[in-house]
Structure 1
Amino acid sequence: MSKDSQKAINAADYEKYSSPIPSREYIMGLLDEPGKTLDRDQLGQLLQLVSSDDKEALRRRLRAMERDGQLTFDRKKGYSLLREDDFIEGLVIGHPDGFGFLAQEGAGNDIFLHDSQMLKVFNGDKVRIVMSGVNQRGRQQGQIVGIIEKNTSHVVGRLIHEEGDYFLQPENSRIRNEIDIAADQLNGAKAGQYVNVEITEYPCNRFNAEGKVVEILGDSMAPGMEIDVAIRSHDIPHKWPKTVLDEAAAMPDEVKDADKLHRSDLRHLPFVTIDGEDARDFDDAVYCEKRKSGGWRLYVAIADVSHYVVPGSALDQEAEERGTSVYFPGHVVPMLPEVLSNGLCSLNPHVDRLVMVCEMAISRAGKISAYKFSEGFINSHARLTYNQVGALLASPEKGLGKQVAKNHHAVVPHIHALHQLYAALRTARTKRGSIDFEKQEVQFKFTKGRKIDQIVPVIRNDAHKMIEEFMLCANVATAQFLEKLNLPALYRVHEGPGEKKLTNLREFLSERGLNLAGGDKPTPAHYDLLLRSINERNDAQIIRMMMLRSLSQAEYSADNQGHFGLAYSAYAHFTSPIRRYPDLLVHRAIRSVIRRSESGSKLHRVLKKFTGMGSDPVHRIKNATPLEEGKSYPYDLDKMKTMADHCSRVSRRADKAGWDVEAWLKCEYMQDHVGDTFSGVISSVTNFGLFIELDDTLIEGLVHVTALNNDYYQFDAAQQRLVGERTRTSFGIGDTITIRVVRVDMDQRKIEFELA
């Protein structure tokens, strides 16, 4: 070794290594020229390394520098320095099979990450990678060189004890890392229990992650365990900070008389609420009356949460973080404390409540001709359920319908008026071409000990559809109001189908002799026309599902892009401020306009021009105290863009948590039905088998290709079928089938079927 090389050895390396070699910095200096590459032999010669021990030390050092993102290696050329533009940043997306992907913001294809790379990170980490070639399938893959931002501080899962060691098996299937837990870090937890573990050491190349138990959730089959696990697995905020509880406790039990001042008194109007049997938070109340000139005047009164939850308060900050209430079977994690969500803000019957009112003039043809927003207070005349109103409309002379007519006779004429208006709105919706998927849902019924007892289909009646149409009207009026005033606000947007998904859908439909009109740019009307043509088909549910899959997911946006599925040019969420933060933001926007200066201003002229109203589309009460705009609505466009991303993310998080709980409950239910037979339809086909969705319960399970033992089946990707080589028997999406339940895997939430 040359004298220069000896001088380049770090003093500490003499103590750490038996054969120390020059430092990393010195080696990087040898390569510090653009485009310069040297292989290991060339570097060894420059360093004048002779002994086999020195050469082995160089090999190890170069591998370590490659691993740490200092060097990149090309088999043909050798080693070169990694420069700043060689690095790629993105978010890690784990896959249940152990590998993962790097998702780059604004980029098209994700970059593959091998299983070995995933062992040193967690799902959701923001990392820096370098490209490392292509995998066996020709997909670009990367090598992680550093973690920019750690996503995971706690992991929920089941505590496993094997060969004297404890580790956590994460509940999140996207986390495949085992997390080691020392015996003195169990804090009383026992093997088999679900626990919440705090990560004390992140994983690395050589060692698993380490953690300590900070919360014991309980045994796997304990009542409600599926919800406790989902809440923590998806990081859903569920504990109220003291500052929030203090603010909530300071709220009055009932509406103060002072708060009713400068509001429209609408208590004489027979508003009613119509909700599910188990509902506790009532956001909306409705009333309509026929107009002498024809058509109707529809009032949609929404709980005025914005009066109580002011920007910047502890309640507001917590509501923003939560973003939405999260609904599970038999349980809810509310966005607001119950003193507000179920009490002061909820439009409970026969008590005064503050509301934001959208009053709309609707023509005989079911079109909104004018609208007006106001602050008011109402006294709901009845708390009705969908089942009650559905029975009243369908069978008023018998059973539940007759009972409702007797108990609520004062509001019955108004319910019929609402139903007549609904008929006009449905006709208008059909003409507009809104997509009506009528997606089937299920309801879980439990025993007193919260053991899953039944899974039954939810039957949507005219009461469900009626309230849905009224809420759509109010949301459309709101979006038009926000857009015309050019207020920074959140819209609910939904894009049409992408090219690839549209191609896949057309191929699927052609297999069934169906066609989606519209060419490359089908409209909602084309979708709806096809949907209405398949109602009598046995495979209608699967066709609806495939059509739904072809569409993108709705999201929040500060930029109005219209709503494809509903066929609206503008759409916003106004009707649920108790349980959705975007609705609360929209209320604040409207309220800031109501409490601005009186008519005659430039604002007034703009409102008249764009809405066609003879007066402001907001109703102001004389001498109402104006709100300071910067405080009542302190949002600009940039803030709204941030809000849109956050609210979309927490909405998706709530959906995923709900799906996890449903999957758990369905598996738990099917444990008692192993060996039983059921009918269903094939919902998906892969090269490894058939996914079957059972009738009524919508439970999905897999018939593995190896269970089709009467032939050897090939996967036809173009036709989405498995076809037997000898018998030519085929199985495709939408085919009806009878299966037997073979096995339920609670850990993986998987159900295995075989043909019956």
Structure 2
Amino acid sequence: MFSTSSIIENLNQEEGLEYKKLCRLLNLSKKTDKAKLDIALRALEELEIINKNKDNEYFNVKESNHLVAKIRCSSKGYCFAVRENNNEDIYIKENLLNYAWNGDKVLVRIIKDGVRRRSPEGVVDCILERTNQILLAKVEIIKDEVYGIPIDDRILAKIKLPKKDEKYKYNPINKNIVKIEIDLFPIAQQEGNGHVIKELTLNNNEKLDTDFVLSKSNIHRIANVQNPKLTVSNQQQRLDLSSKNSYMFKSWETENSPILPIFQIDKIKNNSYKLWIHTNTIAERLDLINKKSLQIFFDRFESFPLLEKWQNYLSDEICNAAKFNINEINDAISLCIEMNSENEIINWSFHLTKVKCSLLVENQHIDALLTRKSKARITSRILKPIKDYIEDLDKIIEISNEFRKNQLLDGKIELPKSNNNIESLKEILVHNPAEFSKEYFEPLNNNDIQTYLSPLLYEANSIWFNHSNNYGLNNASYISQELDYINVTEIIKNSELIDSNIELNDNGTLSFKKLVELCTDDNKKRILHKILFNVVRDNEVTLISNDNTIDDSKNIISPWTLPSFDFTNLMNQYNIYNMIINGKRNKSSGGNLINIMEKESWENVTWRLYNSSTLKSLDLLFNSVMIDKINEYKNKVRQFKSNMITIKKVRKAEKFIGNKYSGLIMAVQSYGFFVEIPELYVEGLVHVSTLSNDWYEYRSRQNLLIGRKSKNSYKIGDVIDIKIIKVDILKYQIDLEIV
């Protein structure tokens, strides 16, 4: 099924596209589908978004007065069109939404400019892409008609259902909600229509939590993953390293978790070392420069844990072919990092290799290695079976520590993960060493060996960005944001996290990093971490091309080391493979060959690496449309993981309704305050309406609630006694009251 967005994406502003070719690109062959396309094309012409040239070919209008945006609605009915690049949001009145829903991608036209502090106002002229093809709803009877009322109160609509779906009428005791597939979105005077495809009875039924949260996050559960046809890996240029020992560091326990890279360490002259990072060769096994092949990935760009197993974006066939099994030779795409005796990087090179994993290093090993009393004498029953590998492992861990120390000196910060003792969340909370969308690192942790991979992979990803950028290649990257946007003074004032007697820098301010260091009290630390988790922005994948101006390449990485985790890694790994195979190594056929995969080789290259055909193929992968789709899916996955953790905490609290606990106030709002129960590692809301002993008003400057008569106050950091009174599974909410 095509969308308006897919029509526009297949057209450009320079060259026209004939109707038949557009149908082929959209995979339309049925008359009914072509009839829908005709309607869409006429509408887009009327709106002056597209046009036709003299040859009857379609193209996008250059000077369109429409802006691409996403609709964001509040539960109170206020709606805004949110634009990219932090441009000002556009206020959309409900009657000008034209039935666009929260999350929909739209074309907006500004009808009233913003003045002073008021946002500009606009109207939705075209819905490019619908976010919700399936809705979670309660079935209700309204005037003898059956309707689905979305449980997401930001969706300002109701869906008419067939009479037979009356049997799913909502029962508050059972909490039976339904999944509705939309047959017809509302338009003009026509109501939206749909039908129930599944009932979810959530009361005391944790088995349905995953399905519920997936649906609420607009992610489909994929039963059978289909991928492009598997090809045989290249065997001609491979460096055989299979006689060397390589090690996999793994905390994930689920069998189908992403395939981690393996590490090899070689000692060379003058106490220098070569660290080899061998990654699973997935990119060279797939045809990634075919438009039809790429479209297969458009409904999934990332692997993520579903508690009991992972939902992978790659098929089992591909993962099994690329998997590193113990003592089995397999192909890899590898990075060799050469370091001096101070663990400083002095050289690097990329290779196609053949490798063999010698040992799976687990949490018990890392803990035993780091806590052993003597390095000379091995007495641990855990370490004795791997005593021949210990010297290598010690050096890899040493390098990881050194890399992290340097990363922190460059301005990065560490924030620990929040505490958790819910067994079902164990896999989802294991550190993902390929997750770089956060502006902070998780500290190295003896209980999670994968935290020791992050400094190594971060450096490897940084190296590839540096290498490819010097050659002018496109890349999918993360650009680290400076933390200047965080108002440290406001955090201190509102939370009283540190003493007033502090030493400021030369500018009379306190750095973000210094704030974290000065907060020493355990309770205040927990509050600070909570505040920082909320205010630190997520990074999105960015397309880096020749058109970008790079101010500080130290803050940019191009992930490639875990291609089984997400499509961003796969794209960049394909870039490396393509450069090894197709990159031009000399100016003319008789000239000296240059190893273009080695550090600083670009200084000797004065010719184009690729011909125009190869560059055109790479543009299929590295373009803004692809990057937008990746970011959209990643946002859904982030929402899923966050909500999965929350619903399991709500389920836990549900078992202790009526129990009394001592809690810590973590945040204060005008409607109440949030209290953490350290004993359970859950957080709930004390609503202001439950404070019946007085009338409480919110003082924003002091960030507290204070009683008008009693002058009793509640502020961040107060320890109070509370009771769990109610939970709401549908809203992920825990309600508390003071005792």
User: Which band: TM-score by shorter chain?
Assistant: 0.7 to 0.9
Residues 549, 671 of structure 1: CA spacing in aligned structure 2 closer, same or farther, 3 A cutoff?
closer
Q: Which residue pairs with 1:591 in the alignment?
A: 577
Aligned partner of residue 411 in structure 1, secondary structure: helix
Q: Which residue pairs with 1:37 in the alignment?
A: none
Matches within 5 A, 1:332-731: 332-341=310-319, 343-395=320-372, 402-440=380-418, 442=420, 444-446=422-424, 461-462=445-446, 463-497=449-483, 499=485, 501=487, 504-505=490-491, 507-508=493-494, 512-513=498-499, 526-559=511-544, 568-596=554-582, 599-601=585-587, 611-612=599-600, 630=613, 634-636=617-619, 639-695=622-678, 698-731=681-714
Residues 607, 182 of structure 1: CA spacing in aligned structure 2 closer, same or farther, 3 A cutoff?
same
Distance 2:86 2:362 in 1: 47
CA contact (8 A) 1:542 1:734 kept: yes
Q: Which residue pairs with 2:302 in the alignment?
A: 324
Aligned partner of residue 92 in structure 1, secondary structure: strand
CA contact (8 A) 2:222 2:311 kept: no
Aligned residues between the structures: 646
Task: Give the aligned residue type for 2:310.
Answer: V
Task: State TM-score, norm by structure 2.
Answer: 0.75
Distance 2:507 2:537 in 1: 16
**Structure 2 unpaired stretches of 5+:** 1-46, 48-62, 432-442
Aligned partner of residue 556 in structure 2, secondary structure: coil
Aligned partner of residue 179 in structure 2, secondary structure: strand
CA contact (8 A) 2:273 2:338 kept: yes
CA contact (8 A) 2:480 2:555 kept: no
Aligned partner of residue 421 in structure 1, secondary structure: helix
Distance 2:540 2:626 in 1: 11
C-alpha distance after superposition, 1:693-746 (max 9, x if no partner): 333754222111122334332212123222233343333334444432111011
Distance 1:87 1:429 in 2: 43
Identical pairs, percent: 16
Residues 484, 149 of structure 1: CA spacing in aligned structure 2 closer, same or farther, 3 A cutoff?
closer
C-alpha distance after superposition, 1:225-264 (max 9, x if no partner): 222233334333543778x36836xx7xxxx7x8544211
CA contact (8 A) 2:139 2:177 kept: no
Compute the displacement of 1:273 (Å): 0.9
CA-atom RMSD, angstroms?
4.4
C-alpha distance after superposition, 1:37-86 (max 9, x if no partner): xxxxxxxxxxxxxxxxxxxxxxxxxxxxxxxx9xxxxxxxxxxxxxx999
Counterpart pick for 1:305 among 282, 290, 314: 282
Aligned partner of residue 647 in structure 2, secondary structure: helix
Residues 610, 430 of structure 1: CA spacing in aligned structure 2 closer, same or farther, 3 A cutoff?
same
Residues 199, 735 of structure 1: CA spacing in aligned structure 2 closer, same or farther, 3 A cutoff?
same
Q: Which residue pairs with 2:25 in the alignment?
A: none
Counterpart pick for 1:100 among 67, 73, 79: 79
Distance 1:628 1:145 in 2: 43
Task: Give the aligned residue type for 1:179.
Answer: I
Q: Which residue pairs with 2:731 in the alignment?
A: 748
Matched, 1:247 2:229: yes
Task: Give the aligned residue type for 1:461.
Answer: N
CA contact (8 A) 1:187 1:213 kept: no
Distance 1:108 1:522 in 2: 28
**Structure 1 unpaired stretches of 5+:** 1-68, 70-83, 447-451, 618-625
CA contact (8 A) 1:506 1:516 kept: no
Residues 497, 378 of structure 1: CA spacing in aligned structure 2 closer, same or farther, 3 A cutoff?
same
CA contact (8 A) 1:368 1:473 kept: no
Matched, 1:166 2:149: no
C-alpha distance after superposition, 1:439-495 (max 9, x if no partner): 33536424xxxxx99999999624343211111221111111111111111121121
C-alpha distance after superposition, 1:662-687 (max 9, x if no partner): 22222222111111234443332211
C-alpha distance after superposition, 1:646-665 (max 9, x if no partner): 22222112101222222222
Compute the displacement of 1:222 (Å): 4.3
Compute the displacement of 1:336 (Å): 0.2
Matched, 1:276 2:251: yes
Distance 1:505 1:299 in 2: 43
Compute the displacement of 1:748 (Å): 1.8
Aligned partner of residue 380 in structure 2, secondary structure: helix
Compute the displacement of 1:165 (Å): 4.6
CA contact (8 A) 1:289 1:417 kept: no
Task: Give the aligned residue type for 2:571.
Answer: L
Residues 190, 695 of structure 1: CA spacing in aligned structure 2 closer, same or farther, 3 A cutoff?
closer
Compute the displacement of 1:300 (Å): 1.0
Distance 2:498 2:658 in 1: 33
Residues 494, 382 of structure 1: CA spacing in aligned structure 2 closer, same or farther, 3 A cutoff?
same
Counterpart pick for 2:135 among 146, 156, 160: 156
Aligned partner of residue 380 in structure 1, secondary structure: strand
Task: Give the aligned residue type for 1:592.
Answer: N
Residues 184, 408 of structure 1: CA spacing in aligned structure 2 closer, same or farther, 3 A cutoff?
same
Compute the displacement of 1:295 (Å): 4.2
Task: Give the aligned residue type for 1:594.
Answer: I
Compute the displacement of 1:539 (Å): 0.8
Task: Give the aligned residue type for 2:345.
Answer: I
Residues 532, 517 of structure 1: CA spacing in aligned structure 2 closer, same or farther, 3 A cutoff?
same
Aligned partner of residue 383 in structure 1, secondary structure: strand
Residues 158, 504 of structure 1: CA spacing in aligned structure 2 closer, same or farther, 3 A cutoff?
same
Aligned partner of residue 512 in structure 1, secondary structure: coil
Matched, 1:175 2:145: no
Task: Give the aligned residue type for 1:711.
Answer: D
Task: State TM-score, norm by structure 1.
Answer: 0.74
Residues 616, 240 of structure 1: CA spacing in aligned structure 2 closer, same or farther, 3 A cutoff?
farther
Aligned partner of residue 611 in structure 1, secondary structure: coil
Residues 456, 544 of structure 1: CA spacing in aligned structure 2 closer, same or farther, 3 A cutoff?
closer
Aligned partner of residue 490 in structure 1, secondary structure: strand
Pick which of 194-203 and 328-337 moved more: 194-203
